[in-house]
Structure 1
Amino acid sequence: MNDTINVTPESLRAAMVDRLTHAGYARSSAVQHVLGTVPRHLFVTHAPVNEAYADIAVITKRDADGTPLSCASEPVVVAMQLDQLAIEPGDRICEIGAGTGYNAGNLAELTGPDGHVTTVDIDAEVTAQARKALDANGYSRVEVLTRDGSLGAPENAPYDRTVVTVGAFDIPAEWREQLKPGGRLVVPLRWRGQTRSIAFVRDGDTLRSDSVHLCGFVPMIGQDHEVNGKVDEAGHVDLYWDSDQNISLAGLQGVLSQPKVLAWSGVIVGGEESFDGIWLRMTATEPGTCRIAADKTAVAEALCTPIIPSRSPALVEGESLAYLHYRRSEGGAELGAIGHGPVAVELVERLCDQIRAWGEDRTAEPVITVHPADTPDERLGVDHVIAKRWSKLTLAY
């Protein structure tokens, strides 16, 4: 008897779709069909076939330091964005970030022969490889352009859908202006140290969200306005914040050596429950929201113990900071905060207030609105505005 299992690309692809649907993605039959049809392994030919269909991103290009420059996003992210796009047959679509060409193939399948797909990338090597793979797999109708993705592709506008497959710090006016009224823009947008894939709908000169999901992407070249630095003398703890924030690294030097203040929220999380919604909620009202990262030495020596050492939300005000922390509790873990500095007591209580607000409705999503950068703050109707180079962001729960 032969017990050898015949693992084929087709069976691996079918298993991938099963995993995605059981996880709550690939919600429509159209997206399920496309992910079960387009041969992902033929777009990432340097990777083993099983890795092409595994729950991982396949890196296709790195810089001299080994930092990823281009990749095929992990299948769950691909499915998530296809769900958010809600593509209809005949749609005109623009993709910012050509990658391997795999996602453009998915888009072409979804929009069909009566639609049109344009994919754009700044890297000529990336677009050449995407062009080759698309042609080899029957998607020669996809148009591939080499240029700065922040410019979009006005020659084929207006678009019903635009999808950005690289991490964006900002939203250029061109992306909005090249959309039809009511068109959808799906973009992994970064602010205050975290990234969310957001589906926006165009309403005049604004974009309003109707779907927000945590994600991670290779950052877009030329859009990096994040600042970072060490907050301890030995260099074990990093802080990351945005260029519009009133945060001074000089004022925070040595803050972790000051007395530690602890506060507990009474909110319990259990098992695999995600608590990233706390971070998102913080960005709506707390101007000092940022990201803290502690290495193994910092954690082992109890210098800095964030709930997730590599990436946790923090609050900064002047020469003080606080960050999310936890302790074991019956049924899971209780969330709380640790603070240092002159106003540490106030910061940890404010962070616990954010935890409690999240705890009352753990699935709540804000409406995120993108306004042109020259919109006066007084017209936005909120107390807290996130100012970027090309846009202003507001969040409302």
Structure 2
Amino acid sequence: MNQTTDTGIVDRAAELRAALVTDLRAKQKITSEVVEAAVRRVPRERFMPAGTDLDIAYGYDNSVVTKRDEHGVALSSVSAAYIQARMLEQAELAPGMTVLEVGSGGLNAAYLAEIVGPGGRVVSVDIDPEVTDRAASLLEDNGYGSRVRVLVADAEHGVSDEGPFDAIIVTVGAWDIAPALLDQLRVGGVIVLPLVMNAVTRTIGFRREGDHLISRSVEVAGFVPMQGDGAHPDRVFLLPDANGRHVRLLFDSGGPERLDRLDGVLAGERAELWSGVTIGNGVSFADLHLWFAWFLPGFCRVAADEGTGLAAERLWFPFGVVHGAGFAYLALRSAPEGEGFEFGARAFGPDGERAAAAMVEQIRAWDRDGRDVEPRFGYWPADSDHSRIPSDVAVMNKTHGVVSISWS
């Protein structure tokens, strides 16, 4: 750290903690007194890896990786302050509650312990013993050892001899909701989780209503993926360019059957198609990505090796579509008139123009029907009454149930 004395570190951390709370309040990530008190009280820096700079520890949107695999892929991390605060609010917590955290780290469990108080109970689980050992040690060192029970468990199968829970907070990306977790959620309880829907994640606060769940809050955020029996790996297709480098197309599930039809398309001419739909500078359009995930057949995420033409364009918005023998990806250019940008698609292959047209059609549909409207979600377990799913919503099948979405 930059500080040179323990007293200086403590004083500087206190200043940064107060400033962080002020920022989180101003941006409405903290909206309740109980969450504010917890964030003010817990020394965030003590749960970070050794050597983490205080400015990083108390950054508004800094996540800090605590463990990587042999390939450098993040397996565990301390989530950014804004999403931790937001998820605590989404869980609608109160003193005396019994709460389950899936995905241990220590810091979030300390926040939970502060909120539920001595009359409450916090259980934190992770599939990785190294992660739970670290979390348990940090909690013990900071006075929370007797207030949080840390267990090694695969949450896909629930947590034996625990619950029922008033709230469950999942801090890893979940492709589906395990029935065993829902079995341990009280009627009227809240589960907050980063739900992956066709490669796009939203952190959703669901309340249990009868045999299904209804969303009460939604936040944009990304998380390390779930491990264990709840893991859901992407299907990856490598699209080579003329120099032997690759563009990777990542499909959440399904995907086109004949991806070999794309062989060599990057060596051909590139087509462009523009939508006429514009966005102002600095304005979020994250829900366009969500719209694609639900309504654009052949939708995929895109990643490009350094040295490819797509990498040179710096794919800040890495989403694409495959249509037959064509591949297109989301592109922006300066708006024809005034400030901001225009959405469009750049495409390759014999069917590239058709792929671009499909993407542009959905850009216009989002602009017409989904822009500036907060979507609502439902989750209908396999054993719930699916005849009660409203007829005007879109649905997405999962292993254990169905997700519904409505922009109305």
TM-score by length of 2: 0.87
8 Å contact from structure 1 (residues 116, 141) kept in 2: yes
Please give the alpha-carbon distance, in whole angstroms, between the structure 1 residues aligned to 2:298 and 2:395: 12
Deviation of the 1:67 alpha carbon = 2.0
Give the letter aligned to residue 20 of structure 1.
L
2:185 is equivalent to residue 182 of structure 1 = no
- Worse-superposed segment, 105-114 or 132-141: 132-141
Q: Alignment partner of 1:239: what SS?
A: strand
Give the letter aligned to residue 135 of structure 2.
A
Q: Which residue in 2 is equivalent to 1:294?
A: 304
Please give the alpha-carbon distance, in whole angstroms, between the structure 1 residues aligned to 2:261 and 2:158: 40
User: 1:103-161: per-residue Cα shift (whole Å, max 9, x none)?
Assistant: 01101111122221111011112111211221222222211111112223242222111
Q: How does 1:240-389 map to 2 (within 5 A)?
A: 240-299=250-309, 304=310, 309=315, 311-329=317-335, 330-360=338-368, 362-373=371-382, 380=389, 381=391, 385-389=395-399
Distance 1:6 1:184, change over 3 A: closer
Q: Which residue in 2 is equivalent to 1:85?
A: 91
2:140 is equivalent to residue 135 of structure 1 = yes
Give structure 1 regions of 4+ aligned residues with deviation exceeding 6 angstroms: 374-379
Please give the alpha-carbon distance, in whole angstroms, between the structure 1 residues aligned to 2:355 and 2:179: 36
Distance 1:14 1:201, change over 3 A: same
Give 5+ residue unaligned stretches, structure 1. Answer: none
8 Å contact from structure 1 (residues 237, 292) kept in 2: yes
Q: Which residue in 2 is equivalent to 1:115?
A: 120
Aligned length: 389
Q: Alignment partner of 2:85: what SS?
A: helix
Q: Which residue in 2 is equivalent to 1:40?
A: 44
Give the letter aligned to residue 120 of structure 1.
V
8 Å contact from structure 1 (residues 306, 323) kept in 2: no
Distance 1:298 1:379, change over 3 A: farther
Q: Which residue in 2 is equivalent to 1:204?
A: 210
Please give the alpha-carbon distance, in whole angstroms, between the structure 2 residues aligned to 1:306 and 1:106: 42
Q: Alignment partner of 1:156: what SS?
A: coil
Please give the alpha-carbon distance, in whole angstroms, between the structure 2 residues aligned to 1:279 and 1:45: 33
Please give the alpha-carbon distance, in whole angstroms, between the structure 1 residues aligned to 2:393 and 2:371: 23
8 Å contact from structure 1 (residues 295, 309) kept in 2: no
Deviation of the 1:231 alpha carbon = 1.6
Give 5+ residue unaligned stretches, structure 2. Answer: 1-7
Deviation of the 1:167 alpha carbon = 1.5
Please give the alpha-carbon distance, in whole angstroms, between the structure 2 residues aligned to 1:323 and 1:83: 36
Deviation of the 1:186 alpha carbon = 0.7
Deviation of the 1:283 alpha carbon = 2.3
2:103 is equivalent to residue 97 of structure 1 = yes
Give the letter aligned to residue 33 of structure 2.
S
Give the letter aligned to residue 263 of structure 2.
Q
8 Å contact from structure 1 (residues 382, 394) kept in 2: no
2:236 is equivalent to residue 232 of structure 1 = no
Distance 1:90 1:244, change over 3 A: farther
Give the letter aligned to residue 344 of structure 2.
G
Q: Alignment partner of 2:104: what SS?
A: coil
Please give the alpha-carbon distance, in whole angstroms, between the structure 1 residues aligned to 2:268 and 2:290: 28
Deviation of the 1:240 alpha carbon = 0.6
2:178 is equivalent to residue 172 of structure 1 = yes
Q: Which residue in 2 is equivalent to 1:64?
A: 70
Q: Alignment partner of 1:15: what SS?
A: helix
8 Å contact from structure 2 (residues 296, 359) kept in 1: no
Q: Alignment partner of 1:94: what SS?
A: strand
Give the letter aligned to residue 184 of structure 1.
V
Equivalent pairs: percent with the same residue?
A: 37
Please give the alpha-carbon distance, in whole angstroms, between the structure 2 residues aligned to 1:248 and 1:372: 32
8 Å contact from structure 2 (residues 245, 307) kept in 1: no
Q: Alignment partner of 1:353: what SS?
A: helix
Please give the alpha-carbon distance, in whole angstroms, between the structure 2 residues aligned to 1:376 and 1:187: 23
User: 1:340-385: per-residue Cα shift (whole Å, max 9, x none)?
Assistant: 3444444323322322333345332222222234779887546854
2:226 is equivalent to residue 220 of structure 1 = yes
User: 1:267-294: per-residue Cα shift (whole Å, max 9, x none)?
Assistant: 2212211112111012222332221123
Distance 1:171 1:121, change over 3 A: same
Deviation of the 1:6 alpha carbon = 9.1
8 Å contact from structure 1 (residues 245, 288) kept in 2: yes
8 Å contact from structure 2 (residues 49, 66) kept in 1: no
Q: Alignment partner of 1:78: what SS?
A: helix
Deviation of the 1:58 alpha carbon = 1.9
Give the letter aligned to residue 187 of structure 1.
L
